[in-house]
Structure 1
């Protein structure tokens, strides 16, 4: 099974190439100011978070392509930071273009969902005579569910676009198309992979969420939790970075190993 085969390949690749954790660590180090500022000045922390989010839109494609390139090389033997830089520079434009397509689709679907929610809430609040009825609520609910389903299906089918671009040397559009094609021919395996990654991602997200709560004085006060000192916030942040580095490095290699397993064009393909 592709999920298990990729799982077996990942630890050995990481053991041979601990350098794979370095790019992930660099990304996570950018989170330190944000988490520490939450304990000092939450308003400034929010501004920093928004600025970093905008910067990451244009920076992450380089790291994304570089990590995929390193992982692909590591699965066959040894890799290095030179491979990270080479893959990042070579595939930056294509990965950036594909990621902007994803951002645009997310924006459109998010706008539709927001509009449906606002319209539904306004209709319910203004409907004093009960004219909207259960049928109207069901229709609004179905539209919202369809938007969510469309988003999940889109993400499910295009999730390997960066792997397709870097591993198979494709452009942005061809990378998205190839991801859709590969997933379409391996639906069951990809579903198992997505469930596993979703569970692991949920655990990682929970860790980051708890760290964010502990770092925020407002959150600790609202939840009646003891306030964490600045030194404690730094300690929690360092633990989160260590955990995030391990998870990010594992996921980076595992995603490429799984893609190579289900991709008929890869040297390790099934």
Structure 2
């Protein structure tokens, strides 16, 4: 019921408040030069991508706090960019702390999975390949990697509403993470349905991003023998990708807040 209620309320909130798309558009535009570089200098694009990842660590908490506050206001009436700025600043520190904790946990789990996988690879090579390797050892390595991945997925699943808890209910970083876990624990079925919808939207965004990279890749024109149409296709594809990214991003920002409110209000 909470999922359906959130889906029902989201379109009307966006229709009343197209200003919600402005911050998302701004964030998407920041990433356009990185995509454009893929068709000019892929190596430089990788360097820029890494630098942008570091910048986003600082920027995302402000963006997250502002968009959550705007989405919350949009569900009850009108919102504005002033809300984005005010609430982004007011909640920045707590969201940043929580965000860094998420990054730290993800990093630790990623390192564990990497070294276990690396150890498994070395073991395979040392034993002469998969056929001669002890199946029990191989199964144990695969199980450890699988457990680490499962722990990561569960962790993200339970703490996914920390931003809403901080912005809407005035929790600090640690309590926001705890409150999110508590909300999910008490509404597992509803949250699973929400996560499936979110996964579909995320998959669409990922597919759109992949399409943009493909269109801007210098290999695309050579593979399809379109040297003269490569630039027009890339420009048109870029606008399509940008538009769909903004639309889906705006939808999910309101949908996530509407769902959280349906569970906690």
In structure 1, what is the Cα distance between the partners aligned to 2:52 and 2:232? 23
In structure 1, what is the Cα distance between the partners aligned to 2:78 and 2:215? 39
Structure 2 residue 20 is the aligned partner of structure 1 residue 20: yes
Q: Give the TM-score, by structure 2 length.
A: 0.95
Equivalent in the alignment of 2:101? 101
In structure 1, what is the Cα distance between the partners aligned to 2:53 and 2:180? 25
Structure 1 gap ranges (5+): 264-268
Change (3 A) 1:125 1:199: same
Equivalent in the alignment of 2:186? 185
Equivalent in the alignment of 2:158? 157
Q: Give the TM-score, by structure 1 length.
A: 0.93
In structure 2, what is the Cα distance between the partners aligned to 1:74 and 1:259? 14
Deviations 1:83-138 (A, max 9, x none): 11111000001111100001001100110110011000100110139774111111
Question: Which residues in structure 2 correspond to 1:1-270 (within 5 Å)?
Answer: 1-128=1-128, 132-218=133-219, 221=222, 226-227=226-227, 229-263=230-264, 269=265
In structure 1, what is the Cα distance between the partners aligned to 2:224 and 2:28? 29
In structure 1, what is the Cα distance between the partners aligned to 2:27 and 2:225? 30
Shift of 1:203: 1.6
Change (3 A) 1:220 1:97: farther
Is the 8 Å Cα contact of residues 211 and 241 (structure 2) preserved in structure 1? no
Shift of 1:62: 0.3
Is the 8 Å Cα contact of residues 221 and 230 (structure 2) preserved in structure 1? no
In structure 2, what is the Cα distance between the partners aligned to 1:144 and 1:131? 21
Is the 8 Å Cα contact of residues 36 and 234 (structure 1) preserved in structure 2? no
Is the 8 Å Cα contact of residues 6 and 254 (structure 1) preserved in structure 2? yes
In structure 2, what is the Cα distance between the partners aligned to 1:233 and 1:72? 36
Considering only aligned residues, what root-mean-square deviation do their CA atoms show, in Å? 1.5
In structure 1, what is the Cα distance between the partners aligned to 2:193 and 2:233? 38
- The range that moved more, 40-49 or 130-139, is 130-139
For the residue of structure 1 that corresponds to 2:171, the secondary structure is coil
Is the 8 Å Cα contact of residues 95 and 172 (structure 1) preserved in structure 2? yes
Shift of 1:170: 1.1
For the residue of structure 1 that corresponds to 2:39, the secondary structure is helix
Change (3 A) 1:219 1:102: farther
For the residue of structure 2 that corresponds to 1:242, the secondary structure is helix
In structure 2, what is the Cα distance between the partners aligned to 1:239 and 1:30? 16
Shift of 1:27: 0.2
